[in-house]
């Protein structure tokens, strides 16, 4: 078996990634693609926790335009992450990967509530665990939920999957002259307000020394490459050189 760089990771998937090319909702081809990426590291014996966003269905901030107060809009957004989690769970199970969901909001007839000790047991038993409903609180994001859960389960790294291949000096989607960092410190990300992840999430990771690897999910095999220690994307930690 190849040597793994990481034994326990937290994979952060944006909701948007689930929409695939359709741009909205849940795309079956994308679910299969994600399941294969996850399978490739489960096969290495890596423990995998996943936090998934809801932006493919609803973002709280956008509700305000339709007269939905932010806190209610955020609750809709959190429920969207539960829908995405269920879709991903069923796909992972169809790939024979044992998968559990734990939700930060209690919806007991559908998914288990978040119980840290139980989550740790699932991981140790080789189950993939999906943490749904973000932090359970409005005004937060699933990036912050990813940071929080990564700390709670002692994940060795957060793998932040995006459609760009790392952290840039500016949003590369908007600024073609932006340059990519191979490594950068949390402090530099905060100081330069680089919006690849929200600042609350970065601060939590900085305080608790959780490295973040920002990488392009659209390149097949990237999750496995990272777990095997290849330098992919941008590493955010305390020692980055910028």
Ligand X SMILES: Nc1ncnc2c1ncn2[C@@H]1O[C@H](COP(=O)(O)OP(=O)(O)O)[C@@H](O)[C@H]1O
**Binding site as annotated, residues for ATP:** 12-15, 55, 59, 162, 168, 171
Q: How many residues bind ligand UDP (CB under 6 A)?
A: 24
Given 11, 41, 111, 145, the residue binding ligand UDP (CB under 6 A): 145
Minimum gap (Å) between residue 88 Cβ and ligand UDP: 13
Binding string, 31-70, against ligand UDP, x = CB under 6 A? ----------------------xxx---xxx---------
Binding-site annotation: residue ranges = 12-15, 54-55, 59, 74, 135-142, 162, 168, 171
Minimum distance from residue 235 beta carbon to ligand UDP (Å): 20
The answer to whether the CB of 181 falls within 8 A of the CB of 240 is yes
Using CB under 6 A, which of 8, 15, 155, 167 touches ligand UDP? 15
Phi, psi of 201 (to 5 degrees): -65, -45
Structure tokens at 176: 């073609």
Task: Tell me how far, at minimum, the Cβ of 94 lies from ligand X, in Å.
Answer: 25
Phi, psi of 11 (to 5 degrees): -95, 120
Q: Are 159 and 215 in contact (CB under 8 A)?
A: yes
Spatial separation of the C-alpha atoms in residues 84 and 80, rounded to whole Å: 6
Find out whether 4 and 227 touch, Cβ atoms under 8 Å.
Answer: yes
**Among positions 118, 137, 180, 225, the unique one binding ligand UDP when judged by CB under 6 A:** 137
Q: Which residues are annotated as a binding site for UMP?
A: 54, 74, 135-142
Q: Which residue has the tokens 């795309």?
A: 27
- Going across the sheet that includes 157-162, the strands are 112-113, 99-103, 128-132, 47-52, 8-13, 157-162, 212-216, 234-237, 183-185
Q: Output 113 or 138, the one with its CB closest to ligand UDP.
A: 138
**Contact residues for ligand X (CB under 6 A)?**
14, 16, 53, 55, 162-164, 167-168, 170-173, 194-196
**Sequence-ordered list of residues with C-beta below 8 angstroms from that of 111, at least 6 positions apart, any chain:** 82, 85, 86, 101, 102, 103, 132
Q: Is 140 in the site for ligand UDP (CB under 6 A)?
A: yes
Select 13 or 119, whichever has its Cβ closest to ligand X.
Answer: 13
Beta bridge partners of 13: 52
The binder of 113, among ligand UDP, ligand X, none, by C-beta within 5 to 8 A per type, is none
**Element spanning 132, H or E:** strand 128-132
Which CB atom, from 78 or from 232, has the smaller least distance to ligand UDP?
78
Using an 8 Å Cβ cutoff, are 131 and 49 in contact? yes
Residues in contact with ligand UDP by the rule CB under 6 A: 14-16, 53-55, 59-61, 73-74, 77-78, 80-81, 134-135, 137-138, 140-143, 145
């Amino acid at each position: 078996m190849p040597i793994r760089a990481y034994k326990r990771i937290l994979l952060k998937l944006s909701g948007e990634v689930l929409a695939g090319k359709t741009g909205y909702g849940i795309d079956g081809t994308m679910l299969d693609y994600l399941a294969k990426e996850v399978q490739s590291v489960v096969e290495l014996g890596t423990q995998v926790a996943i936090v998934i966003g809801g932006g493919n269905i609803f973002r709280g901030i956008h509700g305000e335009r339709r007269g939905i107060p932010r806190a209610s809009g955020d609750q809709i957004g959190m429920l969207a992450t539960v829908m995405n989690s269920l879709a991903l769970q069923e796909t992972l199970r169809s790939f024979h990967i044992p998968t559990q969901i734990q939700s930060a909001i209690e919806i007991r007839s559908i998914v288990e509530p978040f119980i840290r000790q139980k989550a740790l047991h699932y991981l140790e038993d080789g189950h993939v665990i999906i943490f749904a409903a973000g932090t359970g609180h409005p005004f937060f994001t699933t990036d912050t939920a990813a940071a929080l859960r990564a700390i709670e389960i002692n994940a060795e790294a957060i793998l932040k999957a995006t459609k760009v291949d790392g952290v840039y000096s500016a949003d590369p989607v908007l600024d073609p002259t932006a340059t990519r960092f191979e490594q950068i410190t949390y402090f530099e990300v905060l100081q330069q307000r680089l919006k690849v992840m929200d600042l609350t999430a970065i601060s939590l990771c900085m305080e608790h020394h959780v490295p973040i690897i920002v990488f392009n999910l659209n390149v097949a095999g990237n999750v496995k490459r990272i777990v095997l220690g290849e330098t992919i994307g941008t590493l955010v930690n305390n020692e980055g050189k910028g």
